[in-house]
Amino acid sequence: MSNEVLKAIQYRRTVNQISFTDQPISKADIEVILEAANAAPTHKRTQPWRFVVFQDQGLQRLGEELSRIYKEITPVEKYTEVAEQNMAKKATMSNVALAIIVDYSGDLPEWEELAATACAVQNIWLAAYSLGIGGYWATPGLINHLEGFLKLEPNQKCIGLFYMGHHDGEPREPVRTPVAEKVRWED
Ligand SMILES: Cc1cc2nc3c(=O)[nH]c(=O)nc-3n(C[C@H](O)[C@H](O)[C@H](O)COP(=O)(O)O)c2cc1C
């Protein structure tokens, strides 16, 4: 890869809690990551991305809420205690979790503000990578039940949780089919 930006794009990976270490993510690093999110492109500059940052006791509360929702919404025949505990562990095994929220302005088609927020998430992922921090965008069905916990406004929607941690995972090549299969050239 010819430069640092392209290298980050190529080598950014999903890193999950199994590889997270206990090393805390500094407030300064969290702020760099949030500034990167805020630099995302947006039609009419509506800047629809919103975040709730969970650390320390906040992660405990998030984990408890995810477990509680899992228990509440899972049909009895599908419920397992292990899954309930794992919901909480995703939060408590992370150093930081961001709730990713779209704030729909009503001035644009919703898909544009969803797309802009996804651009912000990619910036988060790349900025985290550049700081040696791993993470991933998690989208369990439970995120559709977090309105009260996150104190969302009626025009807001949670579209995932971004779990982060310093990690000891090995670099991995991306698993992708060739781009040539996804492109048609018209000369
Ligand atoms: C919109 C979106 C939702 C995702 N949701 C999840 C998820 O719920 N759980 C998970 O483990 N990974 C999730 N991922 C991460 C993908 O699984 C991951 O990006 C993909 O496997 C490619 O791996 P890489 O990120 O290492 O290139 C999500 C990614 C995107 C873009």
Ligand 1 near 129 CB (within 6 A): no
For the chain, percent of residues with pLDDT exceeding 90:
97
pLDDT of residue 1: 55
Q: Using most ligand atoms within 8 A of CB, pick from 10, 14, 15 the residue to mutate for ligand 1.
A: 14
79 SS3 class: coil
pLDDT digits (tens, 9 = 90+) for 6-23: 999 999 999 999 999 999
Q: Using most ligand atoms within 8 A of CB, pick from 18, 136, 161, 170 the residue to mutate for ligand 1.
A: 136
pLDDT digits (tens, 9 = 90+) for 148-177: 999 999 999 999 999 999 999 999 989 999
**Residues 6+ away with beta carbon under 8 Å from 3:** none
Number of domains in the chain: 1
Residue 124 above 70 pLDDT? yes
The dihedral sign for the CA sequence 176, 178, 182, 186 = positive
135 in a structural domain:
yes
178 in a structural domain:
no
Could you give phi then psi for residue 136, rounded to 5 degrees?
-165, 160
CATH number of the domain where residue 124 is located: 3.40.109.10
What mean pLDDT value characterizes the chain?
A: 97
Distance of CA 20 to CAs 14, 36, 111, 175, Å?
12, 22, 33, 21
114 in a structural domain:
yes
137 in a structural domain:
yes
Q: Domain containing 21: what range?
A: 4-54+96-169
185 in a structural domain:
no
